[in-house]
Chains A and B, each alone.
Chain A
Amino acid sequence: MEPIGGLAILGRAAAQFAPVFVAVAVTFALSLRHRRRLGLYGKLFGSPVAMTGFAIVMFWVFTALFAGWIVTHDPLAQVSGMRNAGPGAPLTGAGAPYPYYLLGGDSLARDVFSRMVMGARRVLAIAPAATLFAFMMGITLGVPAGYFGGRLDTLLAFIANLVLAFPVILLFYLLVTPEIRATGIPRVLAAILFLFPILFLVILWNSRFFTNPRKRVIYLGVTLVVGLWAYAGLAFDADPLGLLGMDPNLLNVFVAVVFVNAPTVFRIVRGLALDIRTRDYVAAAQTRGEGSWYIMLWEILPNARGPLIVDFCLRIGYTTILLGTLGFFGLGVSPESPDWGSTINDGRRLLTIAPHPAVVPALALMSLVLGLNLLADGLREESLRD
């Protein structure tokens, strides 16, 4: 068989991505139809920039979801004779699940296309979750720091500045190593960091429903049961049901990324809280005799949501870049992992001879981050409008 040309590659890749295109189209059709009833999300569809960004992001989200259908080969399987094969190279042996390596083979004769698709799943499993945890931590500490001020604020701001003064890569080289895994420090950090989402939700429900015991018991009960179950599984790998667990490598990476992001979120939230606490509605709540936590989480936080949502989008992109950096330096990833950063790192050695193994994940990573940035930019414009 002959290698197929550029157009044929495009056509075949598009055919593989068909479920993704259908899903994106359905999402857009439904959202455009009901955009008036969807609040901020609906407003997204008023701005071309935000729509472009959202389309790119959703493309990768659905790619991650449907990765199992899209891949043409096992991302770890090596086929003899396909080492550094060019894009569109045909497979020689019989019994292959797909007759071509659409985007060529890498230096270990694995399919670049399938690895890129599986890499999306890995990146999108970690980046949004890590960003969310960083936000939980930043909010839980930042709102009180801004609202109360004083010693607490000084202390927390000092610690945040300490972490921020570290060059990120140095921090990664210190925090993501096999040696540090042996000491158990990542587990301790995870035990602290993963506590914040539970803490946040408990305070959130309690401050709202403490006058309504029945609701409070239900909300707190569900939060604590689910939260502590996930906590035991994720932080200590001690899930009684054996469902949740985190590979130590992954935990190490996750903790490092949250740790790097949280101080920046803290600074933003603190600044917003400092600004909002002087508003009249906060004074009104204080006069009503509301509790501090109620004011912080139900008066200040909802009014800070605009900038926070925008920053959330940007920060997922930044986290993706950080994960790529970790992979690029080979930190905390297994050599077989298809995540984009480490694939770029593997491919760069033969960059001038066989560029495709590095360029494909590089462009994938760039497009995802670009989508997130465009989305954030559009959201910012839309939220400024009202």
Chain B
Amino acid sequence: MSRFLLRRFATMVLTALALTFAVFALTNLGPNLVKLAKTEASVRMTDAQVASWLSRNGYARPTLARYGEWLGVLPGWRGADADGRPRGRCLDRAPDPAAAPRRCGVLQGDWGFSTAFKSGVIAVIGRSLGATGWLMAWVMAVMVPTALALGVLAGMREGSRTDRTLSTAAIVTTATPEYVSGVVLIVVLASSTVGISPLLADWGLIGSRTLFLGTATSAMERITFWNFALPVLTMALYGTGYIARMTRASMTEVMREQYIRTARLKGVPFRAVILRHALRNALIAPFTVIMLQFPWLLNGVVIVETLFNYKGFGWTLVQAAGNNDIELLLGCSVVAVVVVLVTQLISDVGYVYLNPRIRVA
């Protein structure tokens, strides 16, 4: 087991390095740097001025070297500006240039400065991750129990009417991406002109103009049912169908096993067969699926936060990409990549741990 973990961990580190390098290279392409120079210094710079700005600020060096510095394994560059004052990656941010460290990168905890938000990348990401954490927590709390229950119900008696209905519903939700279900939910539940809100307002059942709020901006301060239900529902819908289908497939497979038949022939009540014999085995596969949902949840987060204007991680990522905020985008990518890789690791390890039939030497 420990050798498996070790190898898995080594692959993970290698993957993380390769991915962050790819992101670094793609965000630091020539045209991006030219754009950065023009937004930071002056829009009307000539090509020669841009080139000199880039070399003065340490951008005109090989990508690999700058990646090393950004990562914190190579010492930061040092140079001097036009007046002969010392400049450098680590010097510019330190209060006292003499005491500046040699290396300052992601590994040292220096993630850079966000040009769009005018504050440190760590602070921006920390704040946005906090907001997204709440969203994720609620989505998981809604999605996982619902999906597992629906999947088990559908898979319990294969081909029954419950199964047909639930399976069709699951297909419908997996065919509905977040930007479609979000739009439909807003129109039906949070529009003052159409849907059910005008009706309810006419009947005097609700005090405000709409039943739910179409934006989740106010949830940044205080989460209430009315401002948070729609984003959570939008995100949970797609995943619920998917996980429910996986659970159903796994449940039907288990229900065909010999030991289930044995249990039933012994005269164990159906409920007990499901709860005691089938459930644990049927939940192994969905566990992997749920863990592997995290990367996809990241996508959902980006769409839902943009749609509902909730300033979390996904919203920040869009802002960073839209504003050519290179260091923030890099920071976001590091977080995203780490989340994806860690969940993959947990999924693999958990699968081995839960499934007694798999043994890793």
Chain A residues packing against B (C-beta within 8 Å): 158, 161-162, 165-170, 173-175, 178-180, 182-183, 185, 317, 321, 324-325, 328-329, 341, 344-345, 347-348, 351-355, 358-359, 362-363, 365-366, 369-370, 372-374, 377
- B29 interfacial contact with A, CB 8 Å: yes
Select B187's contact among A174, A321, A355, beta carbons within 8 Å. Answer: A355
Select A344's contact among B180, B324, B332, B336, beta carbons within 8 Å. Answer: B180
- B303 interfacial contact with A, CB 8 Å: yes
Query: Closest CB of chain B to A309's CB: distance in Å?
Result: 18
Instruction: Determine the chain B residues whose CB is within 8 A of the CB of A352 once the complex forms.
Output: 186-187, 190-193, 210, 214
Select B177's contact among A179, A324, A358, A377, beta carbons within 8 Å. Answer: A324
Chain B contributes a number of interface residues (CB within 8 A of A) equal to 52
Question: In the complex the two chains form, is A179's CB within 8 Å of B180's CB?
Answer: no
Instruction: Determine the chain A residues whose CB is within 8 A of the CB of B115 once the complex forms.
Output: none
Chain B residues packing against A (C-beta within 8 Å): 11, 15, 18-19, 22-23, 26-27, 29-32, 35, 171-172, 174-177, 179-180, 183-184, 186-187, 190-194, 210, 214, 295, 298-299, 302-303, 306-307, 314, 317-318, 321, 324, 329, 332-333, 336-337, 340-341, 344
Instruction: Determine the chain B residues whose CB is within 8 A of the CB of A183 once the complex forms.
Output: 29-31
Instruction: Determine the chain A residues whose CB is within 8 A of the CB of B15 once the complex forms.
Output: 158, 161-162, 165
Offer 16 A-B interface pairs, CB within 8 angstroms, sorted by A: A158-B15, A170-B332, A170-B333, A179-B324, A180-B31, A325-B177, A352-B214, A354-B193, A355-B186, A362-B184, A365-B180, A366-B175, A366-B177, A366-B180, A370-B172, A374-B171
- List the 5 closest A-B pairs by CB distance, nearest first: A179-B31, A370-B175, A173-B321, A369-B175, A355-B187
In the bound assembly, the distance between CA atoms of A270 and B29 in angstroms comes to: 34
Instruction: Determine the chain A residues whose CB is within 8 A of the CB of B321 once the complex forms.
Output: 170, 173-174
Question: In the complex the two chains form, is A328's CB within 8 Å of B172's CB?
Answer: no
Instruction: Determine the chain A residues whose CB is within 8 A of the CB of B23 once the complex forms.
Output: 170, 174
In the bound assembly, the distance between CA atoms of A170 and B334 in angstroms comes to: 11
Question: In the complex the two chains form, is A373's CB within 8 Å of B174's CB?
Answer: yes
Q: Are A351 and B299 CB-contacts (below 8 A) given A169-B317, A179-B35, A366-B176?
A: no
Question: In the complex the two chains form, is B27's CB within 8 Å of A174's CB?
Answer: yes
In the bound assembly, the distance between CA atoms of A183 and B32 in angstroms comes to: 10
Question: In the complex the two chains form, is B179's CB within 8 Å of A377's CB?
Answer: no
Query: Closest CB of chain A to B214's CB: distance in Å?
Result: 5
Choose among B11, B179, B299, B302 the residue with the greatest number of A CB atoms under 10 Å from its CB: B179
Instruction: Name A's interface SS.
Output: helix
In the bound assembly, the distance between CA atoms of A325 and B180 in angstroms comes to: 10
Question: In the complex the two chains form, is A359's CB within 8 Å of B299's CB?
Answer: no
Select B191's contact among A180, A355, A362, beta carbons within 8 Å. Answer: A355
Question: In the complex the two chains form, is A351's CB within 8 Å of B191's CB?
Answer: yes
Instruction: Determine the chain B residues whose CB is within 8 A of the CB of A170 once the complex forms.
Output: 23, 317, 321, 332-333, 336
Instruction: Determine the chain A residues whose CB is within 8 A of the CB of B303 once the complex forms.
Output: 169, 325, 328
Select A348's contact among B176, B298, B307, B333, beta carbons within 8 Å. Answer: B307
In the bound assembly, the distance between CA atoms of A55 and B311 in angstroms comes to: 41
20 more contacts with CB within 8 A, not counting A165-B340, A167-B298, are A162-B15, A162-B19, A166-B336, A167-B295, A169-B317, A170-B332, A173-B317, A173-B318, A173-B329, A175-B26, A179-B31, A324-B179, A344-B180, A351-B214, A352-B190, A355-B186, A370-B175, A373-B171, A373-B175, A374-B171
Instruction: Determine the chain A residues whose CB is within 8 A of the CB of B190 once the complex forms.
Output: 352
Choose among B35, B187, B318 the residue with the greatest number of A CB atoms under 10 Å from its CB: B187
In the bound assembly, the distance between CA atoms of A174 and B194 in angstroms comes to: 38
Instruction: Determine the chain A residues whose CB is within 8 A of the CB of B184 once the complex forms.
Output: 359, 362-363
Choose among A175, A179, A185, A373 the residue with the greatest number of B CB atoms under 10 Å from its CB: A179
Residue of B nearest to A314 (CB): B174
Choose among A166, A353, A365, A377 the residue with the greatest number of B CB atoms under 10 Å from its CB: A166
In the bound assembly, the distance between CA atoms of A352 and B35 in angstroms comes to: 36
Question: In the complex the two chains form, is B171's CB within 8 Å of A359's CB?
Answer: no
